[in-house]
Amino acid sequence: MMLDPYEIRKDFPILKRKINNHPLIYFDSAATSQKPRQVIEAIKNFYENCNANVHRGVHTLSQEASELYENAHEEVAKFINAKGMEEIVFVRGTTEAINLVAYAWALRSLKREDEVLVTLMEHHSNIVPWESLSKINGFQVKYVGVNNDGTLNYEVFENAISERTRIVCLPHISNVTGGINDVKKVVKMAHEHGALVLVDGAQSVPHLPVDVKDLDIDFLAFSGHKMLGPTGIGVLYGKHEILEEMEPFHGGGAMIKEVSFNTITRRCSISWNDLPWKFEAGTPNICGGVGLMAAIKYLKGIGMEAVRAHERMLTGYAMRRMKECEKVRVYGPKDASAKCGIIPFNVDELSSHDVALFFDSHAIMIRSGFHCAQPLHEKFKLKSSARASFYIYNTREEIDRFIEVLKEIAGF
């Protein structure tokens, strides 16, 4: 199953841009993807024809907006094979989804003797909330190291899980190396010790089929903007029974069923709304949900197996061609089939920012820095790295152009 990137590119207006008289080549989709016309039009249509607040009015516009917003939850649920929309909470992105688990579940559940197990390949958003919360609750954040190529050592991981482990957190795919973790294997280890599992799916849900029932994960966090959708919208999937037991993360309108003042106690009694609304306080990002729904429909039209196959082809081709470049060091797994479309690299004696700026002068957009994963860079003994990342609209010809410029940089 292969997609046609040349047909797909016609749906992305931004790819028609030129920078410094060079055609734009966008190799930074791991940071954020570009948006097809179908998503842009869906957002535009909402604001032009259906704009109203949801779940707050009986008038036509409010009913239409509410239906669209609820349909977006249903579409996400089907996309990852959740039981239903009750398990789909809309948030601002992966970061807020992880924080929701930390402050709505862990804050009330974890005690001093408990442990949270994370890996050294985490994005900072799956490190900082746990470290911050541990200062409040006193639990220990325990880190599992990685192999020299940045892959997970499953034997070490299994030995690190103990009866004190309450939750295991790991990325489905490393945003630095693109390495794909065997989530199903980790979930089995964790559940055998009675621990929950939180998966950072920011780099997996946009790029390969993800089935939460098959993986048996307890929480899945991912962002809309990395999968053709708008910024400011993301998803926390949680098993129904776990979300039901959790207390809300934010308080305010929409997340309550009833607020009643007791004249005897002089206090208000509050009952929470049904799932998933009890976790969506205030006016939500309605157009973000509409845009995400359009993005998912676009990806389903292509087929996630086809998305995965295209990226695997591009990644293998790019890695083979990068071997032609002297002074270029590529990090992470060497097997393209074990990776998503992400390639971290450096050029000897040049900073990653210098490399990125030179590529930019040729209208090739790549990332440079720590990619919000400094501990993994420390493992690699790197001050930073450059990163090329691919998606459905990239082509072999763009990689050929990338290699031309890379050879020029390496010749400095």
State how far the Cα of 62 lies from the Cα of 58, in Å rounded to an integer.
6
Question: How wide is the angle at C-alpha 148 spanned by C-alphas 313 and 337, nearest 5°?
Answer: 15
Three-state DSSP at 204 gives coil
Residue 169: enclosing H or E segment and its boundaries? strand 165-171
Q: What is the DSSP letter of 337?
A: G
State how far the Cα of 91 lies from the Cα of 252, in Å rounded to an integer.
15
Residue 235 tokens read as: 């998803």
State how far the Cα of 198 lies from the Cα of 226, in Å rounded to an integer.
19
Helical packing angle, 286-302 and 60-80, nearest 10°: 40
CB contact at 8 A, 387 and 46: no
State how far the Cα of 29 lies from the Cα of 277, in Å rounded to an integer.
31
Q: Estimate to the nearest angstrom the gap between the alpha carbon of 207 and the chain centroid.
A: 10
State how far the Cα of 285 lies from the Cα of 289, in Å rounded to an integer.
6
Identity of residue 389: S
287 among known catalytic residues: no
CB contact at 8 A, 175 and 119: no
Neighbours of 343 (CB within 10 A): 27
State how far the Cα of 198 lies from the Cα of 214, in Å rounded to an integer.
15
Identity of residue 306: A
Catalytic residue (one of 287, 325, 340, 372): 372
CB contact at 8 A, 112 and 139: yes
Within 323-372, where are the H helices? 352-361
Give exposure, 248-257, as e/b (b: 16+ Cβ within 10 Å).
bbbeeebbbe
CB contact at 8 A, 122 and 174: no
Q: What is the DSSP letter of 338?
A: G
**What DSSP assignment string belongs to 140-189?**
EEEEE-B-TTS-B-HHHHHHH--TTEEEEEEESB-TTT-BBP-HHHHHHH
Rounded-to-5 percentages of helix, strand, coil across the chain:
45, 20, 40
Active site residues: 372
